[in-house]
Structure 1
């Protein structure tokens, strides 16, 4: 009978399925009826199918040792409707029975014979061995059955040869498969070229050893690569731990350590399992680097909190001082005090974003009270100064109307009137800073022209003045020439006006001394 449960190519998908298929093949071979153990039921014509499915053993004939028939399988528990609702049961399709060509069967049958009693023999070199008995059957049928058993064994060897090339095969699977195949091919109940079968098995055993060596080397290489990759992760962590200092960006470094830990976990899940000693040593180094970082980070955080507390205390003191002087109207000194407080604020450092924002709002509020009041006072002062400027411009125009002064009597009258104008001038107060020089320069020019006439009169009455008049006149003439050149070259109207006023004064002096 053909062994319908022999291994097929579908059984090579995983190592577990291969072992299952091997076991099923062994059980099928052990439970297949042998020649001499079956006969046709009374009243029926013996046929190949009937001989295989409806025979009974013949105790008179010797029979080779076979494996015990498997016990009846226990009934499986019926799943509940709820379980069926969650997951439908998966029914695995039975492997397809191998098909052999007539040529393969004929070649195998050439190594066996069947005698008149239905005994089946196989030729092994110069010897012959009985492999079974198939009475009341055609010799061709008997040989066909045992030839197929041989081809089934050969198919197992071929499948194992294919399995050897699989990248998923394990070393223990090779050993287990070779041991199983050696047992099956030692004294098989089959007809065929058993010597060639054993030779093929020996070759497969050698290939298996070579494959095991390849697997061992591949595992060694994979292990070395995995250790190198994980060591690189450890070294990066150690470099980070060694680089910690005052300038460390702790948030960025923390993110880098977190990324390295995720890389470690991913590497642990996706690569070959590293030997425990190496894995423990690497983890100890990685954990030590993380501990160094955590301790340094914790120490930095404690120092930062202490520094922020001190900064907060200093800024609270600055705010208290600002609150004390914010209502002051002593604008100059208080402005300098606020500038000093601002410098101390900047030097104090940071107290944390939330606290800094709240503290700055309080300090800014006190500063705004003072500076807004100072600006309001400046605005008021500016209005008054512009009013004062209008008044002084009227006075200087009145003073300029006293000119020219031609003689001593006119100079005396002009001096008296200018004195009254000066009293009013002093009582008016300040004018805008940008107009001070201009407005006072015009008043000074009037005073100089009157004084020039007065000085000239005094010099005429002085006996010694005659000797100095000529020299003074020469100086005035040179100065007037210089003023003419400067006035012609000057582009600024305000400066040009000042030069013209100075020229007018010196001309008055020149007239006085002539």
Structure 2
């Protein structure tokens, strides 16, 4: 007798719960399964298993219908297990290990099952499941290999991009931008680890080492650049500190031109010294500017004072020349002598006054000279009136003055047309003087 032979108490059958995994089959399915069994007079249940018949159990104190129905339901449950595994295979929810375990378990269950039904059909169904499982495992293995290749390709691309970045490093590399690029590649690497197939340790380590080596190259080169930059900044700081000290020593100098030239040299050296680092650069520049501003503020104040003095002198000389011009015209020799005495006193005051602005110097001097020449012309007329030769010279001098006045008129017009007001004023003063000479000679 088979080890799967069972003895069933009919009283318990009605109370037995239906297993949760059992597929409910139709009455027609149960009836079809019962056709493969029979019940002996003593209650022993037999099933036709291919070309043989074997005992599957004994159903005591029950009629044939109940006994066959019980074992037919067990057949249906076993068939339901096979159907369930098939549906999970088709859905792709089983892993290769689970497939193997399911096929092995079902093969054991259909060897000599204590059921009534088409047992060879169950065995065939299990073998079909085995074939399906083999195909599914191959497909899964192929998919995994493809996923693995994709994962390798994705990580290789990241490693190659990192190596390309490392190889592109030069003295002009923007380290901040390249650092961000490496960080972006690292984030891509982590995303690839999460989103693509897991690789074996050896392959994963090899690809990671390529990426890590490129990043180490970047970090090494950036560190070297930082060290070099710090050395350059330290040298720049030393130079600029010396320049600040030199500028501070000059800030109270009153040698305006010489010191201004020295400050120009300091600024030129400052530009050549390079960058000392933002914090040090700002602090040193503030100190340098303070010294330079101190010097130039003092120079500007001195210049303002100097030009103020020049303008005050000009006002004083303008007043004196106005007094001198008020002496004119001189009618005769006696008047000339009186005018000469007054002019000498004015000229004495004139000599005590300092310089005037350069642009006004020639103009103001020409006005004073014109007064002197007119008085002198009258003084010289006393002896020239009784001298025939003097008359001739007088006529010649008159012609020269008239020619010079005509020439001066042309020059004045040209200066005014050119917008040179200072030159026009100077020429006009000269013309006025010569016009007065002409009047005196006539």
TM-score by length of 2: 0.83
SS in 2 for 1:317: helix
In the alignment, does 2:11 pair up with 1:47?
yes
Q: 1:139 to 1:509 in 2, by over 3 A?
A: farther
In the alignment, does 2:238 pair up with 1:310?
no
- Separation in structure 1 between the aligned mates of residue 276 and residue 369 of structure 2, nearest angstrom: 64
- Separation in structure 2 between the aligned mates of residue 173 and residue 327 of structure 1, nearest angstrom: 95
Residue from 249, 252, 262 that aligns with 2:187: 262
In the alignment, does 2:332 pair up with 1:399?
no
Residue from 102, 106, 122 that aligns with 1:177: 102
Q: 1:129 to 1:404 in 2, by over 3 A?
A: farther
**C-alpha contact (below 8 Å) 2:362/2:426 kept by paired residues:** no
Give the aligned partner of residue 314 of structure 2. 389
**C-alpha contact (below 8 Å) 2:45/2:55 kept by paired residues:** yes
Residue from 281, 285, 295 that aligns with 1:356: 281
Residue from 66, 71, 80 that aligns with 1:155: 80
User: What's the CA shift string for 1:463-495, capped at 9, x where partnerless?
Assistant: 995896587356335425525755885778766
SS in 1 for 2:254: coil
In the alignment, does 2:369 pair up with 1:447?
yes
In the alignment, does 2:281 pair up with 1:334?
no
User: What's the CA shift string for 1:152-190, capped at 9, x where partnerless?
Assistant: 222222222221233453233223322222222232222
**C-alpha contact (below 8 Å) 1:476/1:510 kept by paired residues:** no
- Separation in structure 1 between the aligned mates of residue 147 and residue 70 of structure 2, nearest angstrom: 48
Give the aligned partner of residue 403 of structure 2. 475
Residue from 27, 44, 47 that aligns with 1:102: 27
- Separation in structure 1 between the aligned mates of residue 200 and residue 311 of structure 2, nearest angstrom: 93
Unpaired segments ≥5 residues, structure 1: 1-29, 40-45, 54-93
User: What's the CA shift string for 1:396-444, capped at 9, x where partnerless?
Assistant: 322333444677887777667556545534432244x4xx423641331
Q: 1:162 to 1:507 in 2, by over 3 A?
A: farther
Residue from 127, 132, 147 that aligns with 1:222: 147
In the alignment, does 2:437 pair up with 1:437?
no
- Separation in structure 2 between the aligned mates of residue 157 and residue 271 of structure 1, nearest angstrom: 33
- Separation in structure 2 between the aligned mates of residue 424 and residue 512 of structure 1, nearest angstrom: 27
**C-alpha contact (below 8 Å) 2:37/2:45 kept by paired residues:** yes
- Separation in structure 1 between the aligned mates of residue 367 and residue 431 of structure 2, nearest angstrom: 10
Q: 1:424 to 1:162 in 2, by over 3 A?
A: farther
Give the aligned partner of residue 202 of structure 1. 127
TM-score by length of 1: 0.73
- Separation in structure 1 between the aligned mates of residue 284 and residue 271 of structure 2, nearest angstrom: 13
**C-alpha contact (below 8 Å) 1:154/1:197 kept by paired residues:** yes
Give the aligned partner of residue 324 of structure 1. 249
Between structures 1 and 2, the one with greater helix share? 2
Unpaired segments ≥5 residues, structure 2: none
**C-alpha contact (below 8 Å) 1:121/1:132 kept by paired residues:** yes
Residue from 142, 157, 162 that aligns with 1:232: 157
Aligned CA-pair RMSD? 3.7
SS in 1 for 2:110: helix
- Separation in structure 2 between the aligned mates of residue 447 and residue 404 of structure 1, nearest angstrom: 14
Deviation at 1:310, TM superposition (A): 1.0
| Range with bigger deviation, 120-129 or 478-487 | 478-487
Q: 1:405 to 1:269 in 2, by over 3 A?
A: farther
Q: 1:379 to 1:448 in 2, by over 3 A?
A: closer
**C-alpha contact (below 8 Å) 1:405/1:450 kept by paired residues:** no
Q: 1:412 to 1:241 in 2, by over 3 A?
A: farther
| Range with bigger deviation, 268-277 or 457-466 | 457-466
Residue from 202, 212, 218 that aligns with 2:137: 212
Give the aligned partner of residue 250 of structure 1. 175
Give the aligned partner of residue 165 of structure 1. 90
Give the aligned partner of residue 504 of structure 1. 432
SS in 1 for 2:38: strand
- Separation in structure 1 between the aligned mates of residue 168 and residue 341 of structure 2, nearest angstrom: 87
Q: 1:423 to 1:159 in 2, by over 3 A?
A: farther
